[in-house]
Structures are given as structure tokens and as C-alpha cells.
Structure 1
């Protein structure tokens, strides 16, 4: 988000933080997802509730009439704050509500001491989907309706992952909102990491790393970047030796394959 929307996001997050502490976080996440999806579907409603020429109090009242008695007070309060804010574009309104739904789901996991599990499970699910084209088609294609995709997720991972993980994955596969599944998993994983102000490092190694090696690598990255780092480790035989690390747009490559590619680029130049 840019400019005006970034400032509005900070204001809405402050209001959200004030009501989330006393809310059922799982319910709050589900309801914010549902409202974001409603605003995505109903273009006229979204435009009217994000119109900067309409007084904030009038838009908040409209949202209250629309939602009161249908969702929890914490959700009503958050949506009132969101529609009362000013956004650079109308699409930022549902984006913010979905973002806060993700934050609520992650806060739920944190309250259950399972936020690390959620980060790991989102990453591992991405690897599972990458290895199964049929599963990817079923979860992202138009052949299965939303409820069918939810049922498939429940059959595959229900009871095997944290409730927050299942909640986040269900949102991604039933409401892609123009994202690829990979992009959505990366976005939600990043938001999960932000809950503890951590960076996410995707580590590709030719062999599985021991816990000791992971701890040493995390300590080195923490010292290098000045922030805690969550490691998502992917075993990839193509790495040959060493490992490569991606943190955002930055890549640290100590692999043999990376060195060979660097030599090739220099020779080509």
C-alpha cells in the first residue's frame, strides 16, 4: 500500500488491536475474511463505503446497519474503522480487512503457542502442492466450488495442522483474490512472521539440516540482519553442496551450483 492507504492502515490496525484482545480470535478472523469477500463481490457496496467524498461517520453508520447482529462487536468495530478511513483505491478496503483477518488467525495461533507451527505448515503445504499438479489444479481451478475445496482441505489436513493454518489455507483456496497459491502462501507466511517482527528465510540445501545447524544458521542471520529469522528449509538435490538463502529480495548463495552459475555469467560477460 502507498501513501494515504499506508497511513490509514496504521490507524485501523490501532483500532483493531484495541478490540482484538477481548475477542474470540478465530471467529474474528473468519468474520473479517467474510466481510472482505463480501466487499470483493459487491463492487457498488465497496465503492460507496470507500468513497472519500462521503463523511466517515455516514459510512461507519452504513457498515453498522449492514453488519450489526450478524457478526461479533469486534468485527463491527474493525469494519467501522476501516470504512471510515481514506484509501488510495477502493480495493485497499477489502485488502486491509483480509490482512487483519490473517493477523487475527496468527494471534490465535500465538495464544496457543502454535505460531511457529503455522509458519512451518504454510511452507510445507506449498511444497506439497508444488509436487502434486493434480492437487494444485483441484485447489486453484474452477472445477471445484468453494465448499468442495474446503472439504478437500479438511480431508487432507484436518486435525493434522493448527486450526489457524487450516483457516488461512481455506481463505487462500476459496478466495484467491487474483493471487497465485504460491504468492498467497508467501504473503500469509510473511504476515505470520511479522507478528514477532521476524524475517522469513527460505533455505535450499542439498541435504536436510540438523537442528544444531539450523540454530547456528538462524543465529548468524540474526546477527547479520539485526532481527530474528524464521527458517523454512527446503531439501533440493540440485543445490549440489552448501546452501542458498532467500530473504525477501536478497539472496545469499554458498552452493556449488550457485558458484558454477556465477562463473558462467562471468565467462559470458
Structure 2
């Protein structure tokens, strides 16, 4: 992406980071892939949502009417943010949503401690496909229906790879979006590798944070650490008030319980 679309992608990623922490990341990936595929099929809808002359409020309303109750809150808010942004070309809107679907799948694997496996499995599957002409043709043939390709994948690797890997391979195979099979696998592999550069912040709060609070917090952490930060919000009544943030070995504790514990330590000393 270039120029305006690159700036818009950064804004949408910020919104995504704020709402994805408490979501089912695998399901979120599937939902974002599905919306990107819908925009690829429905050219009129894609033009409407990417039209820079339309007010953001109009496009937001259209997205909510279309998707409310059909996707998770995290997916809905991500699509709303994407539709409200301005893009250099209409296709960039769907590209952004697919990209965030890949990030969701990678984050799911990371939360399970399987990110290395996903990166390795994508690479190895790419090598297998490149060396097997018949397999490559079967998975690349536009005349083979999506269901047939997914069934073939399930038979070949369904029980042999991490679910996130199967989700990503399935998207590349079923919806090439103008890419070669090899190019799509390489692109997704690069996005998974980039996930290592993202920081994960575990936020503990007595109550769930509002979307606005999550966005402000994600923005502040991104500025502070110089990296995108994924928020994983845990509601814990024992916090009493305020919230704590753990990023790696760093702990930022503004909770009442934390202050009480600090007083206890000082008294004990």
C-alpha cells in the first residue's frame, strides 16, 4: 500500500489492536477473511464503502446494517474503521481486512505458543506445493470449487498442522485474490514473521475497558514502546480499581490492590 492507504491502514490497525484483545482470534480471522471476500465479489458494495466522497457516517451505517448480529463486535468495529478510512484505491479496503485476518490468525498461534510452528508450516507447505506439479495445479485451478480445494487441504494437512496454519493456507487457496499460490503463501508467511515485532500487553482491570479507552491505551503504548501493541484485556474483580499492564518483564500497575501491596511491602521493610 502507498500514501493515503498506508496511513489509513495504520489507523485501522490501531482500532483493531484495541478491540481484538478480548476476541476469539481464530473466529475473528475467519470473519475478516469473509468480509474481504465479500468485498471482492460485490463490486458495488466495495465502491460504495471506499468512495472518498461519501461521509464516514454513511459508510459506517451501511456496515452496521449489513453486518450487525452476523459477526463479532471486534470484527464489526474493525470493518467500520476500515470503511470509515480513506483509501488510495478501492481494492486496498479488502486488502487491509485480509491483512488483519492474517494478523488475527498469527496472534491466535502466538497466544498458544505455536507461532514458530505456523511460520515453519507455511514455509514447508510452500516447498511441497512448488515441488509437486499436480498438487499445485489442483490447488490453483480456478475451475475447482472452493469446497473441493478445502476438502483436499483437510485430507492433506488438516491433522498435521496448527489450526492457524490451515486457516491461512485455506484463505490463500480458496481466495487467491489475483496472487499466485506461491506468492500468496510467501506474503502470508511474511506477515506471520512480522507478528514477532508486535508487543502483547496483558491488561488487568476490575471492569472491561470501553473501546475508546482501549484505543487511547493502545495509542499511548505504541508511542511509548515504538511498536504496535496488541491488548489482551482480562477482567479481574480482585483488581479493585484502576488497571495493570504487563508487557514482557515490564509492569505498569495503577490498581488499588497494587498500591495496597506496595504499602505492605514498605511497612514490612
Which aligned pairs between 1:60-99 and structure 2 lie closer than 5 A?
60-99=60-99
Q: How far off is 1:142 after superposition?
A: 2.5
1:169 aligns with 169
Q: How far off is 1:190 after superposition?
A: 0.5
Structure 2 distance, partners of 1:19, 1:123, is: 30
Q: Deviations over 1:233-254 (max 9, x none)?
A: xxxxxxxxxxxxxxxxxxxxxx
List alignment gaps of at least 5 residues for structure 1.
199-269
Q: Deviations over 1:169-210 (max 9, x none)?
A: 000000000001111111101100111129xxxxxxxxxxxx
2:129 aligns with 129
Give SS of 2:8's match.
helix
Q: How far off is 1:143 after superposition?
A: 3.5
2:156 aligns with 156
Q: Deviations over 1:68-125 (max 9, x none)?
A: 1111111100000000000000000000000000000000000000000000000000
Structure 2 distance, partners of 1:135, 1:186, is: 17
Instruction: State whether structure 2 residue 116 is matched by structure 1 residue 116.
Output: yes
Structure 1 distance, partners of 2:169, 2:120, is: 13
1:224 aligns with none
Q: How far off is 1:131 after superposition?
A: 1.3
Structure 1 distance, partners of 2:69, 2:150, is: 26
1:138 aligns with 138
- TM-score, normalised to structure 2, is 0.73
Instruction: State whether structure 2 residue 8 is matched by structure 1 residue 8.
Output: yes
Q: How far off is 1:57 after superposition?
A: 1.1
Q: How far off is 1:45 after superposition?
A: 0.3
- Please report the RMSD computed on the Cα atoms of aligned residues, expressed in angstroms: 0.9
Give SS of 2:196's match.
coil
Q: Deviations over 1:134-180 (max 9, x none)?
A: 00011010232001000000000011100000000000000000001
Superposition misfits of 4+ residues, deviation over 6 angstroms? none
Instruction: State whether structure 2 residue 178 is matched by structure 1 residue 178.
Output: yes
List alignment gaps of at least 5 residues for structure 2.
199-269
Structure 1 distance, partners of 2:152, 2:5, is: 36
Q: Deviations over 1:1-36 (max 9, x none)?
A: 111001000000000000110000000000000000
Structure 2 distance, partners of 1:91, 1:38, is: 12
Structure 2 distance, partners of 1:160, 1:196, is: 23
Identify the structure with bigger relative contact order (alpha carbons < 8 Å, sequence gap 6+). Answer: 2
- TM-score, normalised to structure 1, is 0.73
How many pairs does the alignment contain? 198
